[in-house]
């Protein structure tokens, strides 16, 4: 009974954390966006407008909730719940510190990915139930985008799994004791970051909403709290991506003075390091959102299928090949047991070399293609200019 109550408490805390975090996140997001756009942002309610999101939440509760005629009531009401639930569930096995984790599942990473894919279903439900053709079209575009970008996301996720030899989140973090995975697989980290950004549906990949051009996307028929929930889910998803990148590629809670065994000091320090790393990636994400222009849908799809996916497949091939070579040659270390900086260095250099070669190769191929296209265009223009007038 006591153990059940402890579990209940842990689950309650871990499950509420993302939703509670959403409140300050809204403020941070608006403030950062305002600063980038040379505005002040919210500054009326409370010091620096810090109470603004709470005022927003109260406003949302007091707003009339309009359910348009012809909606499918059950699906319509279920969709925002599923959308938020998918994000909350992801937090079940995200570590906070060496000993602080909801549940350290053996299949941690796979669990996170599969729970995240429930969000796609929620969007489909939201778009369909509204009985509005724009919402439905919007949902189709979003779903096409989300499923497309899930491919490079999962393929690059495979690299940390490959290096750590485990899917458990704590195992992956522990394996980065001496060397962060970003040094072994910078390409995978970059692809993961880009496709995670696309998974949240934010700029430059926000053509599903395109706030400045369209009225809204799949959530057009939602109002009041239900709309707010979709929004909160998106905010938390961005933060979740930051945490995931911090864990998978830059060592999660590792830092100076943290030991894997734990202890109070390690846990506190680990949490602080994790917050710092997460904040950095979260900030980069906001920065991108507020500075990059929106892409067109054909550019979006081409970028994914003709750039990210081939590169992530090539990256997987190169990384696994080099890893196997270093294992056969005998200078690979088992990162789960012996992972000091010096021991991991030769392997890291080899993998880093492979990644640099991959980047150079990609640049060469795309540079060649672009040059060839330009030469062709110039030749065409030449031909038109010099064509006989009759």
Partner 1 sequence: MNILNQWGPIGLFMVFAIVLPAAPILVAAIFAPRKPNDIKLQTYECGVETVGDTWVQFKVQYYIYAIVFLVFDVEMIFLLPWAIAFNELSFFAFGAGFLFIFLLTDALVYAWRKQALEWH
Partner 2 sequence: MVVQYLAFVIFSAFAIIGAAMVVWSRNLVHSALFLVMSLFGVAGLFILLSAPFLAAIQVLVYIGAIAILIIFAVMLTRSMTAIREPFNAQSWLGAVIGAVLFVALVAGMILPVWGWGSLPTLPQSDVVGTTRDIGIALVSADGYVLPFEVASLLLTAAMVGAIVIARED
Residues forming the site for partner 2 (CB under 8 A): 72, 75, 105-107, 110-111, 113-115, 117-118, 120-121, 124-125, 128, 136, 140, 143, 147, 150, 165, 167
In contact, 292 and 203? CB cutoff 8 Å: yes
Residue 226 binding target from partner 2, partner 1, none, CB below 5 to 8 Å by type: partner 1
302 binding partner 1? (CB under 8 A): yes
For residue 317, count other CB atoms closer than 10 A to its CB: 12
For residue 307, count other CB atoms closer than 10 A to its CB: 15
CB of 31 to partner 2, least distance (A): 35
Residues contacting 313, CB < 8 A, separation 6+: 155
What DSSP element (H or E) covers 96? strand 95-97
For residue 41, count other CB atoms closer than 10 A to its CB: 18
CB of 278 to partner 2, least distance (A): 24
Residue with tokens 């779903």: 143
211 binding partner 1? (CB under 8 A): no
- Residue 245 backbone zone (phi > 0: left; psi -120 to 50: alpha; other: beta): alpha
19 binding partner 1? (CB under 8 A): yes
The CA-atom distances, in angstroms, between 362 and each of 72, 299, 303, 359, 368 are 48, 18, 13, 5, 10
What DSSP element (H or E) covers 95? strand 95-97
CB of 128 to partner 2, least distance (A): 6
Length of the chain measured in residues: 390
> Toward partner 1, which CB reaches closer, 62 or 388?
62
* Residues 92-131: x where in contact with partner 1 by CB under 8 A, - otherwise, as a string: x---------xx-xx---x-------------------xx
CB of 55 to partner 2, least distance (A): 36
Please identify which residue in 39, 324, 371, 374 interacts with partner 1, judged by CB under 8 A.
324
CB of 129 to partner 1, least distance (A): 11
CB of 331 to partner 1, least distance (A): 14
74 binding partner 1? (CB under 8 A): no
* Residues 141-170: x where in contact with partner 1 by CB under 8 A, - otherwise, as a string: --xx--xx-xx--xx--x--xx--xxx---
- What letter would DSSP give residue 101? E
């Amino acid at each position: 009974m006591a153990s059940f109550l402890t579990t209940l408490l842990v689950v309650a805390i871990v499950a509420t954390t993302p939703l509670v975090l959403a409140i300050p996140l809204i403020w941070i997001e608006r403030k950062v966006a305002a600063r980038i756009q040379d505005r002040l942002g919210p500054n009326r309610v409370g010091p620096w407008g810090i109470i603004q999101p709470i005022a927003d939440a109260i406003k949302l509760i007091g707003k009339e909730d309009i359910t348009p005629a012809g909606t499918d009531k059950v699906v319509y009401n279920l969709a925002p719940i599923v959308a938020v639930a998918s994000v909350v569930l992801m937090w079940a096995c995200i570590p906070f510190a060496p000993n602080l984790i909801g549940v350290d599942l053996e299949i941690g990473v796979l669990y996170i990915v599969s729970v995240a894919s429930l969000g796609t279903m929620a969007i489909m439900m939201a778009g369909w139930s509204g009985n509005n053709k724009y919402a439905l079209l919007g949902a189709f575009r979003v779903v096409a985008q989300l499923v497309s970008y899930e491919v490079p996301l999962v393929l690059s996720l495979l690299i940390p799994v490959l290096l750590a030899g485990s899917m458990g989140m704590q195992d992956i973090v522990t394996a980065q004791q001496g060397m962060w995975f970003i040094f072994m697989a910078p390409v995978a980290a970059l692809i993961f970051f880009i496709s995670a950004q696309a998974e949240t549906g934010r700029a430059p990949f926000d053509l599903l909403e395109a706030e400045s051009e369209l009225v809204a996307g799949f959530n057009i028929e939602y109002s009041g709290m239900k709309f707010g929930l979709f929004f909160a889910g998106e905010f938390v998803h961005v933060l979740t991506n930051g945490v995931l990148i911090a864990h998978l590629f830059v060592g999660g809670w590792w830092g100076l003075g943290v030991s894997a065994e734990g202890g109070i000091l390690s846990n506190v320090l680990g949490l602080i390091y994790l917050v710092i790393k997460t904040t950095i990636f979260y900030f980069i994400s906001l920065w991108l959102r507020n500075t990059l222009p929106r892409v067109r849908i054909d550019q979006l799809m081409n970028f994914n299928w003709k750039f990210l996916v081939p590169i992530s497949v090539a990256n997987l091939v190169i990384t696994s090949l080099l890893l196997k070579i270093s294992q056969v040659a005998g200078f690979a270390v088992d990162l789960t047991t012996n992972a000091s900086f010096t021991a991991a260095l030769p392997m890291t250099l080899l993998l880093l070399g492979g990644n640099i070669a991959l980047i150079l190769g990609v640049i060469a191929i795309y540079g060649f293609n672009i040059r060839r296209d330009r030469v062709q265009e110039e030749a065409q223009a030449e031909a038109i200019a010099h064509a006989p007038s009759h």
